[in-house]
Amino acid sequence: MTATGDRTLRRAMIVLTLIGIGIASYLTYVHYKGLSPICAINQGCEKVQSSKYAKVSGVPVPVIGLVGYVAIFVSLMVRGELARLATAIMTIGGFAFSLYLTSLELFRIHAICQWCVGSAIVMTSLAVLATIRVLRAPDDSAWDDTGAETYASVGDPEGEPV
């Protein structure tokens, strides 16, 4: 993948991560304020957020999501193969957790939360993009600390990066 392609994927992932942070922040706020989330689907959000599955070991699911999205955001601010791999691992883990939560909504709670579905779509998109980014990782050695391509003093006479 070209560095430009990687940069485009990273920017798209940053936007998606900020959307995820927004969703998780809203649901965390609603949880701690004791409010009912705005929901267009027949009170499904309230039923999901008040279910016994709304917490994992006493931690509200929106808080887990918020921490996860912030960690993904931080990993996107770090360059290198290890950071790309960490991002992929976190997003794939988030996708698996979203899949689990969606199955609970469908088969145990019997209600759909539009915010949860939105977060699941965001996390699924992040997992796909992060996987593509790892599989098509650019050669970081062609980039200096400013993100600009470096050119060898001896190399291609056309001035192309080597």
pLDDT digits (tens, 9 = 90+) for 53-85: 999 999 999 999 999 999 999 999 999 999 999
| 59 located within any domain | yes
Confidence band, pLDDT 50/70/90 cuts, at residue 5: confident
- Please state, in angstroms and rounded to a whole number, the distance separating the CA atoms of residues 106 and 98: 12
34, two tokens: 């004791």
| 49 located within any domain | yes
**The model's pTM:** 0.82
| 149 located within any domain | no
33: domain CATH number is: 1.20.1440.130
Task: Show the DSSP H helices in the chain as ranges.
Answer: 3-33, 44-49, 61-76, 81-104, 114-135
Domain count, the chain: 1
Q: Write the pLDDT tens digit of every residue in 29-49.
A: 999 999 989 988 777 899 999
Look-up of token digits 């062609």: 142
